[in-house]
Amino acid sequence: MRKLPLLNAETRPFWTGGDVGELRMHRCNDCTLYFHPPAPICRHCSSLNVTPTPVSGRGRVVTFTINHQAWTPEFTDPYVVAIIELEEQAGLRFLSNVVNCPPDAVEIGMPVTVVFENLEDVWIPLFERAA
């Protein structure tokens, strides 16, 4: 099984939003910019006035690699590790996996949309090719 993240006041909204179908990114109420990873302070303007905010879940593949090494016994098939940029803001990026398609079908710039994998109390945001 995947190693699961530790949930705390800052990270819980991000890792549990999938329970209600929401990808939540921290957003600053002063400069209005999103940032990631979640933190109690805006990385753009240092404001403490920040709120986890639902986003569209749509984005694109900035870059990716195909992992062939079975680092754990559960992941024997090749899989895609990708940096996804969300459509809400240039530079709003995070690391995820592209799923539900053959790894060779993934391309830089490919439009993707979020899907969630629920493991225990965590909903991991993954991405698949957008329709």
44 contributes a contact to Zn ion by CB under 5 A = yes
Question: Shortest gap between Cβ of 110 and Zn ion (angstroms)?
Answer: 30
106 contributes a contact to Zn ion by CB under 5 A = no
Among 31, 66, 83, 115, binds Zn ion (CB under 5 A): 31
Query: Of 14 and 123, which has the nearer Cβ to Zn ion?
Result: 14
How distant, in Å, are the alpha carbons of 57, 75, 84, 121, 127 from that of 92?
Answer: 12, 28, 8, 25, 15
Query: Do 62 and 85 contact (CB within 8 A), yes or no?
Result: yes
11 contributes a contact to Zn ion by CB under 5 A = no
CB under 8 Å to 131, separation ≥6 — which residues? 113
Question: Shortest gap between Cβ of 52 and Zn ion (angstroms)?
Answer: 14
